[in-house]
């Protein structure tokens, strides 16, 4: 079904402000077609484009794509190097259109273990979108939710040496100021493709009250229509945040 036929069903006043996407199934998609795993990742890049285009079309505010986790370093070296090369090349290629669409891209994740030159290169490219005020796209790269919390605590304690009141005033709300996503709304919706029922260390602190939508669709097959279906499902949820409806 064309996504255009589904769009009229969306309540534009009740869209999630922030959506996290766990892009799973690239390897299985390739295996089903007797292709190398990297071709699955390449096909998955098209789905990132589809989702981003739809987000701009319906005026979503924030997307976070789980692109490369701290655990992904355990994959075969040729796959890891291929992923890093593809990420950088794809970003460079997409920059003109990202700017044309007023999309702001930033990388979130740890610097630990990264090649400093590679990190500088991708940040330099992403910085070309810093002046854009539209859709905010986070690329979670070398990202792990547990490590994010640990690094947040480390940054907080380092800052508290100059301002001890930071510890005294710490609560569950302002701790978010020390995370990679500081200043952004918490995700309302987490989408996971390929049918796996877990968060896989993704946005653990931020997703405390996120709605979770799991689809059996493999990531390279996740298109605009699949995204609209996820949003329609989200709009059927009764979000009470631990309380009761008035």
**Residues annotated catalytic, as ranges:** 24, 72
Beta bridge partners of 65: 21, 139
- Specify whether the CB–CB gap between 52 and 63 falls below 8 A: yes
How many Cβ atoms sit within 10 Å of the Cβ of residue 205? 17
Measured CA to CA, the distance from residue 195 to residue 142 in angstroms comes to: 23
Q: Which two tokens stand for residue 105?
A: 């891209």
List phi, psi (to 5°) of 181.
-95, 20
Residue carrying structure tokens 């090349």: 89
Q: Which residues contact 163 (CB under 8 A, 6 or more apart)?
A: none
For residue 148, give the H/E element and its range: helix 145-160
Beta bridge partners of 68: 141
Residue carrying structure tokens 């947040």: 152
- Identify the DSSP state of 115: -
């Amino acid at each position: 079904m064309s996504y255009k036929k589904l769009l009229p069903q969306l309540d534009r006043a009740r869209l999630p402000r922030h959506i996290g996407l766990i892009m799973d199934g690239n390897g299985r998609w390739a295996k089903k077609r007797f292709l190398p795993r990297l071709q699955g990742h390449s096909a998955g890049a098209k789905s990132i484009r589809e989702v981003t285009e739809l987000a701009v079309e319906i005026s979503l505010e924030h997307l976070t794509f789980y692109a490369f986790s701290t655990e992904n370093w355990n994959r075969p070296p040729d796959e890891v190097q291929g992923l890093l090369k593809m990420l950088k090349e794809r970003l460079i290629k997409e920059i003109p259109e990202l700017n044309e669409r007023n999309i702001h891209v930033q990388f979130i994740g740890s610097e630990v273990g990264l090649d400093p030159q590679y990190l500088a290169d991708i940040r330099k490219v992403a910085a070309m979108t810093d002046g854009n005020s539209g859709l905010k796209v986070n690329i979670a790269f070398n990202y792990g939710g547990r490590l994010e919390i640990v690094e947040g605590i480390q940054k907080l304690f380092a800052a508290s040496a100059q301002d001890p009141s930071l510890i005294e005033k710490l609560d569950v709300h302002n701790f978010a100021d020390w995370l990679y996503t500081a200043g952004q709304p918490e995700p309302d919706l987490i989408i996971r493709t390929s049918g796996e029922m877990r968060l896989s260390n993704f946005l653990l602190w931020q997703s405390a009250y996120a709605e979770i939508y799991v689809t059996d669709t493999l990531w390279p097959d996740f298109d605009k229509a699949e995204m609209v279906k996820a949003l329609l499902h989200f709009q059927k949820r009764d979000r009470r945040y631990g309380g009761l409806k008035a």
